A and B are shown apart, each in its own frame.
Chain A
Amino acid sequence: MTVLLHQLKFEQRVFWRSREAAVFIFIFPLLLYALLGSIYGDEIDGVPAADVLLAGLFGYGAANTAFGGLAITLVIRREAGILKRLRSTPLPPWTYLATVLLSTLMVFALQAVALLVLGSLAFDASMPANPLGFAGAIVLGVAAFAGLGVGAASLIRSAEGVSAVVNVIVLPMAFLSGSFGPTREFPVFLQAIADVLPLTYFIDIVYGVYLDGESLFADPKALGVLAAWGIAGLAVALKRFTWMPRER
């Protein structure tokens, strides 16, 4: 436990010192919210636009932080030999991975709060109708996307390409899942793609707890699809994750 807190302290220090990570992971969703919030009108389908966009950006933030950020961090550390070096210290590997996850959760939780504050100050957005459920949804989202992130990190070979690969996945997914605005007008085939994406279901869950005040468990199908994606990512990771660089 002491080792976990020790590692967590350094993980956080490293994250906030990295300007790229802090801007790309933390600031970018806030920036998008500020931008989109000023574009959309008062209401989307009879619901305040600021609220709908906020639910979508919680989703984008979770995918960006837990999937994108985690995959990039792990691949870069693996290829630089940082992970390999850790393996010959007494630090237990699972403690390390747990710490990386916790650190990711801390970053995203903070980002969610920042989004809420920005929303209420700038666009008069609502506070979560079911705060406990909202907090639970954030933990759940980070867990599922982190599972996918570790899975992706296990498949991506080079540190040079990881950023591009991750963004090619995250941005279209966020767009299709309605992170940046309603998808009602999208062509049917695009909506069909969106129907299998984990982010679509995560945004549904967030929408329920944040706006409708539903229970976190109101939509078992959405929970099931989200969990299935997370578990699939984890399964890939268990099979393919390595601590050693893929230099050879």
Chain B
Amino acid sequence: MSSAIAVRDLRKSYDGVEALRGISFEVTAGEVFGLLGPNGAGKTTAVEILEGYRNRDGGDASVLGYDPGDSPRAMRERIGVVLQHSEITPLLTVREAHLLFAGYYAKPRDVDEVLEVVGLMEKRDARVKTLSGGQKRRLDLGIALVGDPELVFLDEPTTGFDPAARRSAWEMILALRSLGKTILLTTHYLDEAQRLADRVAVIRAGRIIRLGTPAELIGDARSIEIRFLKNGEQVVIETKNPTQALNELTAEALATGYELEQLEVRRPTLEDVYLELVDEYDGDVE
């Protein structure tokens, strides 16, 4: 598979403050790639360089084979963008807004089809200004899809959503993936990255501090946790061999006749790994 995005040693400063301190990653065609990190880590800066909005100070970047620094029209034909903050002219209807954007592309998708995909068919004749927050995000997504892009950038697509809206956004993103779109997603929600991304780069203070599949990140970072109460006191055992540890524990408990109260065996979530990573790097100079 060819890479849809290739970034090497990408650097960017604002007024002497380094937002990106040399990040490198590749996104394979058809992959959902997540950039995960706290606010101010440099996620949006990285994405906006790749979308062609900002010039990089150093390093190489390639988006579908184009240099995003030139933001050529041919590249813009093939990408779809959902920004963190952007609006669509509030006086148009949902369907008109899609038609407007469809007119910019050489080979747009059928507008009604897109409305169906993002679940705005019922709202198609409503003015944009009457939409709820979640519906506006769907509109942003629909407009990003109307040019039938190969590569979609989603910058924090579910920030501010209630849980139900988040679920349905996730389903939409997974549906895009099954259409073969390449997706670059930024998020500060760990469950979102874990659920949607094939691979995740954890970014902090302008650097990528870990990169891999969610399973890899969880797997190589921590052991399994076993918790129970003994005489009312919390016992926590961390082990790489949970089968053996449990066997020994239960054998001992049975032999001595006490109960392992509130026994819990827990795999670390990406959240645990992430918090650990971010803590580890907290000594880093800002």
| Chain A interface residue count, Cβ-Cβ cutoff 8 angstroms | 23
Instruction: Confirm or deny: B103 has a beta carbon within 8 angstroms of a beta carbon on chain A.
Output: yes
Indicate the size class of the contact surface on chain B: 20 to 34
For A6, give the chain B residue with the smallest CB separation: B103
Interface residue stretch chosen among A56-64, A84-92, A101-109: A84-92
Q: Cα distance A14–B104 when bound, in Å? A: 17
Most B Cβ at <10 Å: residue of A10, A87, A88: A88
Cross-chain contact of B88 among A7, A85, A247 (Cβ < 8 A): A85
* CB pair B81 A88 closer than 8 Å: yes
Cross-chain contact of B53 among A17, A88, A91 (Cβ < 8 A): A88
Interface residues as binary, A37-81 with B (CB distance below 8 Å gives 1, 0 otherwise): 000000000000000000000000000000000000000010011
Q: Cα distance A81–B52 when bound, in Å? A: 15
CB-CB under 8 A from B79, the residues of chain A are 88
Instruction: Confirm or deny: B96 has a beta carbon within 8 angstroms of a beta carbon on chain A.
Output: yes
CB distance from A86 to the nearest CB of B (A): 8
Instruction: Confirm or deny: A244 has a beta carbon within 8 angstroms of a beta carbon on chain B.
Output: yes
Instruction: Confirm or deny: A13 has a beta carbon within 8 angstroms of a beta carbon on chain B.
Output: yes
* CB pair B89 A81 closer than 8 Å: no
CB-CB under 8 A from A6, the residues of chain B are 100, 103
User: How many pairs of residues, A versus B, come closer than 8 Å at their CB atoms?
Assistant: 65
- SS class, residues of chain B in contact with chain A: loop
* B residues 124-142 touching A (CB-CB < 8 Å): none
Most A Cβ at <10 Å: residue of B52, B77, B85, B89: B89
CB-CB under 8 A from A7, the residues of chain B are 100, 103
* CB pair A87 B53 closer than 8 Å: yes
CB-CB under 8 A from A91, the residues of chain B are 104
Instruction: Confirm or deny: A3 has a beta carbon within 8 angstroms of a beta carbon on chain B.
Output: yes
* B residues 60-111 touching A (CB-CB < 8 Å): 71, 73, 76-77, 79, 81, 83, 85-89, 91-92, 96, 100-101, 103-106
* CB pair A89 B53 closer than 8 Å: no
Q: Cα distance A82–B85 when bound, in Å? A: 9
CB-CB under 8 A from A10, the residues of chain B are 89, 92, 96, 100
* CB pair B76 A89 closer than 8 Å: yes
* CB pair B105 A90 closer than 8 Å: yes
Known: A88-B79, A92-B73. A14 touches B89 (CB 8 A): yes
Known: A81-B86, A82-B88. A88 touches B51 (CB 8 A): yes
Instruction: Confirm or deny: B34 has a beta carbon within 8 angstroms of a beta carbon on chain A.
Output: no
Q: Cα distance A3–B106 when bound, in Å? A: 10
Known: A14-B92, A85-B81, A88-B81. A80 touches B87 (CB 8 A): yes
* CB pair A17 B83 closer than 8 Å: no
Cross-chain contact of A81 among B77, B83, B106, B143 (Cβ < 8 A): B83
